[in-house]
Copies of this chain bind each other. A is one copy, B any other.
Amino acid sequence: MPERIFNFSPGPATLPPAVLQEAAADIVNFKNSGIGLIELSHRSKAFMAVAEETEALIRELMGIPNNYKVLFLQGGASSQFFMVPMNLLGSGQKATYLNTGVWAKKAIKEAKLFGQVEVAYSSEEITYKRVPRDDEYTVSADSQYLYFVTNNTIYGTQFPTMPAKDIMLIADMSSDILSRPVDVSKFGLIFAGAQKNMGPAGVTVAIVREDLLDRVGDKVPTMLKYKTHADKDSMFNTPPCFSLYCVGLVMRWLKQMGGAAAIEKINREKAAPLYEAIDSLALYRGHAEKESRSLMNVTFNLPTPELEAQFIREAGAIGLDGLKGHRSVGGCRASIYNAFPKEGVEKLVAFMADFAKKNG
């Protein structure tokens, strides 16, 4: 393994080194079969076994009930923004959305093409620096589902607990899936682009309750129906084989780490010293309100954009890469998903203290 940089990229993001090395070997010669992984027919026994194991591991690690399907789709989470209402929301029906960031807002825009959208809460006017408590919004009785984004990458906010409302939940978990245990039975549908906590870009995992599969209308194209993919175990057409395979490797790694509860503990241990540095050093100011702070993306500002640029530049020079905040909010962001190593956090915390001393 050559020297590794600490990669704080928000996604695609850092992966376990062992996963990279196994993938590298398999690409050239899959399990010594004489055929490379990415040359395998998706209908070969070898690849079908990969897909089956990957699904089984996701089921096990998330504790997914039997009445849910696990689908491997394409088009990113962005394609779920329209597939969810296209499949689940009849014309004239209502759905409730929580506007906690750009990705939620984009989902709201797409949902309006299909039905009536109730935005029950929005933190847009305060730069999305918080997510709501349950007592801060209501959901109409005739709403079909409550849609929310569990973790808002750009702003560094995260729902500390899932909304406890008497309605089917639908969640975009792209940036915190499998970072903590979740009770899947409260959800009608969960989806996540893989490129943060599950693997490389190119595959989207959707977990959908079976009774919802038949809601879709006749006029929806075949490839856009969840049912199409559910009926064929995600092999209706050629799946994104390599990305799916890598998700399997990451799931194996996560199982070795002890699963969702164990990784949550580690994630808390990684985030805590960063927030402590932000709170104790006068040079830094956290973007997210304390109650909404994310364990995945730690966002903070320095007094001036110039100082922020200097911080990012000097951090980069010592191997702390990808700390620039999203262009829409500026500042700094440390993305520390499941696979991000504790040593990288320690190095960043030390650098923050050092930088504060020199520039405070």
Contacts and interface: CB of A to CB of B under 8 A. Distances in A.
Given A27-B27, A78-B223, A246 B44 contact: no
A195 B20 CA distance: 22
Contact of A5 (B34, B201, B319): B34
Interface stretch (A56-64, A159-167, A232-240, A267-275): A232-240
Interface stretch (A79-87, A279-287, A348-356): A79-87
A359 interface: no
A111 to B, nearest CB: 10
A155 to B, nearest CB: 18
Q: Which of A11, A223, A241 has the most CB of B within 10 A?
A: A223
Given A2-B32, A34-B2, A242-B243, A113 B219 contact: yes
B35 A28 contact: no
Contact of A20 (B27, B200, B201): B27
A109 B200 CA distance: 33
Interface residues of A, number: 70
A39 to B, nearest CB: 5
Contacts of A42: 12, 201
A120 to B, nearest CB: 23
Interface in A202-239: 202-203, 219, 221-224, 236-239
B74 A240 contact: yes
A20 B9 contact: no
Q: So how many copies of this chain end up in the complex?
A: 2
B13 A202 contact: no
Contacts of A321: 34-35
Contacts of A203: 202
Contact of A242 (B4, B13, B44, B200): B200
A39 B1 contact: no
Nearest to A27: B24
B113 A4 contact: no
Given A201-B239, A243-B202, A9 B113 contact: no
A15 B36 contact: yes
5 contacts: A74-B76, A81-B221, A82-B224, A201-B239, A202-B203
